[in-house]
Amino acid sequence: MNNSKKQNNLVKARILTGDRPTGHLHLGHFVGTLQNRVKLQHSYDSFFIIADLHMLTTQPSLAKTSAIKNNARGMVLDYLSVGIDPKISTIYQQSKVLEVAYLALLFSMLVTVPRCQRVPTLKEVMHDLKIKKPSLGLLNYPVLQSADILMVKADLVPVGKDQESHLEITREIAKTFNKTYKTVFPVPKALIGDTGTLIGTDGQVKMSKSVGNTINLSDDFETVNQKVMAMYTDPSRIHPTDPGKVEGNPVFIYHRLFNSNKQEVLELEDRYKHGKVGDVEVKRKLAVAINNFLDPIRQQRAKYQNKTDLIDQIIEAGSKKTSSIARDTLNQTLQAMKML
């Protein structure tokens, strides 16, 4: 077992997950992954990646690349705000670990172009972003992701219910390498979260930074109020006295997730179904609930808000640690291939 996986004479299973530094993290991130990461970090050797190279697969413009540094800092600030602890977890920036590119190149020899083209999310990304012809980088995205995961020898990869297929190429590459050369890599498993995606405030698609239908973890009190009051509800309900639909209604989905007063939620649902409460009252109470939910996150955020040097140190320390692990893995890889 790799010495880097030993802590206090106990071996913890290792996980790797993360986000692209494209802007503020939001409630959808919290529900889908962040709350789970905060729990997992106490039981697993946790690595959280600032996936800036992955960002380039769809956003390689100068305007986007020049924003990476500040976006990375903002993402780490979001992590710290929700309770990810850099003392027990490793937060690192992908582009600062040069070995990942070498491993991705080696792994690209073990997978075919048609196999990459069959990745379900490739067509989804191309459709959502109106990409007619994918770049080689976008096509190779799952191979680079495999290098991220395997270079730290992650045992588990936390994913949403709809993302398990993302991990399959990584598993295939690990098995192919181990069979072709020598057993170097664990075959990672998916760690499926309990909660799926969160619908956006527009009620049309999942909450997404690119769509702009988000409530961000960094939003202030008034911004939350404005976004909630503009939320989509039941389109068939014209008057407050009309019976309304609760199931599938974004306002009530959010109430169930973020309103700690469950009795209030049940009462609002019952009144809504019977045409005894208007959308305005339901939204105002939701705005209160979400602001109450965000208040502890805001308080934690305030502790780090102006500590840019500290955030940079967290990124540098995590990247240095990960680079050391990646160099060891790369050496083992080349030795197994009799190239070293």
- pLDDT, tens digit, 9 for 90 and up, residues 158-215: 876 666 777 899 999 999 999 999 999 999 998 876 666 889 999 877 888 777 899 9
Q: What pLDDT shows up at residue 159?
A: 79
Q: What is the pTM of this model?
A: 0.91
Q: What pLDDT shows up at residue 161?
A: 64
Could you say which residues of the chain have pLDDT below 50? Answer: 1, 3-4, 6-9
- Decide: helix, strand or coil at residue 47: strand
Q: What pLDDT shows up at residue 313?
A: 98
Q: What pLDDT shows up at residue 7?
A: 43
Strand partners, 46: 15, 89
Q: What pLDDT shows up at residue 6?
A: 45
Domain ranges of the chain: 3-199+308-336, 221-300
Greatest Cα pair distance, the chain, in angstroms, is 76
Q: How far is CA 21 from CA 15, 180, 288, in A?
A: 20, 36, 29
Q: What pLDDT shows up at residue 121?
A: 80
Classify 221-300 by CATH class.
mainly alpha
H-state helical runs in the chain: 27-29, 35-40, 52-55, 62-65, 68-82, 99-108, 113-117, 120-128, 136-139, 141-151, 168-180, 221-229, 250-258, 262-273, 279-304, 308-336
Report which DSSP code applies to 50: E
Classify 3-199+308-336 by CATH class.
alpha beta
| Closest to 125 in 3D by CA, of 54, 175, 203, 174 | 54
